[in-house]
Amino acid sequence: MEEKPNKQNLLQLDVLRYLYYKEALSINELSKLTGKSLPLVTSVINNLKEASIIVSNHLAPSTGGRRALEYQLNKASERYIIAVAVDQLVTRIVAFNLANEPILQPEERTIDLTKGMIALDQLIDFISSYLCNPILPVMGVIGIGIAMPGFVNAEKGMNRTYFGNQHIAQYIKSKLDYDVFIDNDSSTIALAELNFGAAKGMEDVMVVNVGWGIGLGMIVNGKLFRGHNGYAGEFSHIPLADSNNLCSCGKRGCLEVDASLLVLTQKAQCEMKNGFASKMTEMLSDDGALSSEAMLDAANMGDQLAINQLSKAGFLIGKGIATLIHIMNPQGVVISGRGAIASKILMAPIQQAVNEFSIPMLAEQCVILPSELNKDAELLGAATLVMERTQKFF
Ligand SMILES: [Zn+2]
């Protein structure tokens, strides 16, 4: 049975979470945020200071005459978060300190998620070999956060799309002996943008994950909105495509069949076979495949074919965003995920479609922003899962 944290521990976890998100806070601010008395918060702060988990920050900005002492998480404390970003083909991993700075080089490995339990065992093997690095004192690992595509039930630790009824978080924990927290990739990206990225400070914001599919994480009233069964935000499968191609979900005409990075690379390869000159011909892998990174880089370097593909996709995504704006009336939309690497190409057609298909009164009040976290968003979001859900920090 899991240990139930006592009241003091709960307050300690609360304080640690606020410091993780806000960087530096005074005892007064922490007391207001947690709703607990100054003596209670002071005692928690003293404990954390003694354990070297937090340090005082003497450079706190002055808000008047007297300078309030602020506290922040000690990035030199030997506490680490393991963040894992899984997509259909490539899995990345990194160990962060408490300031979300990598303490080891990130690594990636090709794992085909459609292989079911074989893929899961490969994932466990990958995490396990990363944790073997002698630089990483394993005693300090707080937990492992894993972001992955598919219908994920975060509470039960299940991914219906790729692993059916298996309790995969529990399974991974049983093999690695660390707490494991999983969530959908677009939800974790939204959490990263909300806490550390372009959506910081916003209450109602839609975060679009441009990747192998077109995902969506919805922040409503400052919190992730999951819907009744936890599967809200299936943006990829709204019927907005110009073509009638079959989608991975079994239906036709979904946004994904014309706008996902997977489809865009396939289309670009087809055009190159038909003789369209492109820088991307030099960027193919040994087996002749075009990676989404290569296409995004080519677009940023001015390659016409890559830009054409991304622009068409951007317009369709913009049409979808116009629908979102009408339904949700958000204050912002953030274009995130790995596709955001080429946001300077994507933003113009997205904005054009929003202008064309939205009621001006709603669209004018909604800012559309590119992510600055890009590829890191998913890893940061995965780290957030651990800080958000761990019950035992020590
Ligand atoms: Zn679909």
| pLDDT value at residue 4 | 56
What's the CA-to-centroid distance between 145 and ligand 1, angstroms? 27
Q: How far is the CA of 263 from the centre of ligand 1 (A)?
A: 13
Cα distances (angstroms) measured from residue 38 to each of 27, 48, 58, 67: 7, 15, 20, 18
pLDDT at 1: 43
Supply the CATH classification number for the domain 7-73.
1.10.10.10
What is the identity of the amino acid at 89?
L
Distance (angstroms) between ligand 1 centre and the Cα of 149 equals 14
Tell me, in angstroms, the distance from the centre of ligand 1 to residue 47's CA: 51
For residue 301, report the distance from its CA to the centre of ligand 1, in Å: 31
Q: Which CATH superfamily is domain 198-372 in?
A: ATPase, nucleotide binding domain (3.30.420.40)
Dist. CA 253 → ligand 1 center (Å): 7
Domain ranges of the chain: 7-73, 80-189+378-389, 198-372
Tell me the pLDDT tens digit for each residue of 23-82: 899 999 999 999 999 999 999 999 999 999 999 976 555 555 566 789 999 999 889 999
Judge whether 333 and 369 are in contact, CB under 8 Å.
Answer: yes
Under CATH, which architecture does the 80-189+378-389 domain have? Answer: 2-Layer Sandwich (3.30)
C-alpha dihedral over 28, 31, 32, 34, to 10 degrees?
150
Distance (Å) of CA 147 to CA 49, 186, 224, 252, 340:
32, 8, 15, 27, 18
Distance 261 CA to ligand 1 centre (A): 14
Ligand 1 centroid to 180 CA: how many Å?
29
Tell how far the Cα of 125 is from the centroid of ligand 1, in angstroms: 32
Between CA 191 and CA 189 the distance in angstroms is 5
Could you count the other beta carbons within 10 Å of the beta carbon of residue 311? 16
198 and 371 in contact (C-beta within 8 Å)? yes
278, burial (CB in 10 Å: exposed 0-12, middle 13-18, buried 19+)? buried
Q: Contact at 8 Å (CB) between 378 and 185?
A: yes
CA of 248 to the centre of ligand 1 (A): 6
DSSP H helical ranges for the chain: 7-22, 27-34, 38-50, 117-131, 160-163, 168-176, 185-196, 256-259, 261-273, 292-300, 304-328, 343-357, 360-363, 376-389
CB-side neighbour CA atoms (13 Å) of 160: 9
How far does residue 237's CA lie from ligand 1's centre (Å)? 4
212 alpha carbon – ligand 1 mean position (Å): 12
Q: How far is the CA of 368 from the centre of ligand 1 (A)?
A: 25
Please tell me the distance between residue 246's alpha carbon and the centre of ligand 1 in angstroms.
8
Q: How far apart are CA 218 and CA 112, in angstroms?
A: 27
Residue 66 has what pLDDT? 62
* Cα–Cα distance measured from residue 246 to residue 228, given in angstroms and rounded to the nearest whole number: 28
Question: What are the Cα distances from residue 206, in Å, to 29, 194, 264?
Answer: 29, 10, 23
What's the 42 CA to ligand 1 centre distance in angstroms?
52
pLDDT digits 0-9 by tens, 376-392: 999 999 999 999 999 98
125 by DSSP, 3-state: which?
Answer: helix
Fold match flag (7-73 vs 198-372): no
Which residues in the chain come in under a pLDDT of 50? 1-2
Q: Which has the closest alpha carbon to 186: 160, 218, 230? A: 218
What per-residue confidence (pLDDT) applies to 63?
Answer: 58
Give the pLDDT confidence score for residue 2 in this predicted structure. 47
Q: Token pair for residue 341?
A: 């690497």
Q: In this predicted structure, what is the pLDDT of residue 273? A: 92
According to the model, what pLDDT value does residue 67 have?
Answer: 65
118 CA to centre of ligand 1 in angstroms:
25
Nearest to 200 by CA among 82, 382, 369: 369
Alpha carbon distance 145, 81 (integer Å): 8
The residue assigned the tokens 């899961």 is 120
Stretch (H or E) spanning 369: strand 367-370
